[in-house]
Amino acid sequence: MLIEIAPPRFDVDLDLRYATADNLTGAPIYARARCFLHADVVPLLVRAEALARGLGLRLRLFDGFRPVEAQWSLWRALPDPLYIADPRRGSNHSRGVALDLTLADSLGRPLAMGTVFDDMTPLSHHWRTDLPLTVQTHRALLAGVMAGAGWQAYPYEWWHYQIAGADTYPLLTDSALGGIMMAK
């Protein structure tokens, strides 16, 4: 079951890039700027939200559930399996159990992370020691918040987190949401 992630039920900021042209394809992929996650990971999101709040920070979400149709759009734009899961194998986003996000300060201003979302270059890899100290600190803060809440980091994208055993969840198309995300 997919749950909509939005204020006021969730104390997060939404910056859903695939509903805008500000993404690696240069065009909107989603018809609607709405964010959904599998019900099983919602408690982990709430925990991360609380851990961030304890640090005076907020979660800023770029993407959650991504229908299989949208994964095809990304794959056509960048068919590189290091950064984009082959839609035939499936993205954990299409299972509803992966989340792309960053941290923001208490006023909602995003912390510097060294690259933009979906940078998809070696600069977006986690655990680099050659980035500015503030960037390394911010990435470590995000990783700490997410690990503390039970999420797993992905080494090649500082913004991507998912749960253990993600591949046991089924891939879902937009029909799981009645077609609302992709329909123009």
- Residues making contact with Zn ion (CB under 5 A): 100, 160
Q: From the CB of 154, what's the least distance to Zn ion, in Å?
A: 7
CB count in 10 Å sphere of residue 102: 23
Q: d(Cα 27, Cα 9) in Å, to the nearest integer?
A: 29
Q: Which is nearer to Zn ion, 56 or 60 (CB)?
A: 60
Q: d(Cα 133, Cα 135) in Å, to the nearest integer?
A: 5
Q: From the CB of 106, what's the least distance to Zn ion, in Å?
A: 25
Measured in degrees and rounded to the nearest 5, phi and psi for residue 20 equal: -125, 175
Eight-state DSSP code of residue 132: -
Q: From the CB of 117, what's the least distance to Zn ion, in Å?
A: 9
Q: d(Cα 113, Cα 134) in Å, to the nearest integer?
A: 8
Q: Which is nearer to Zn ion, 86 or 132 (CB)?
A: 86
Q: From the CB of 93, what's the least distance to Zn ion, in Å?
A: 6
Q: Which residue is nearest to Zn ion (CB)?
A: 160
Catalytic choice (4, 49, 69, 157)? 157
Is 157 noted as a catalytic residue in this protein?
A: yes
Q: Which is nearer to Zn ion, 138 or 160 (CB)?
A: 160
**Of 25, 129, 9, whose CA–CA distance to 69 is shortest?**
25
Q: Which is nearer to Zn ion, 34 or 134 (CB)?
A: 34
Q: Which residues are catalytic?
A: 157
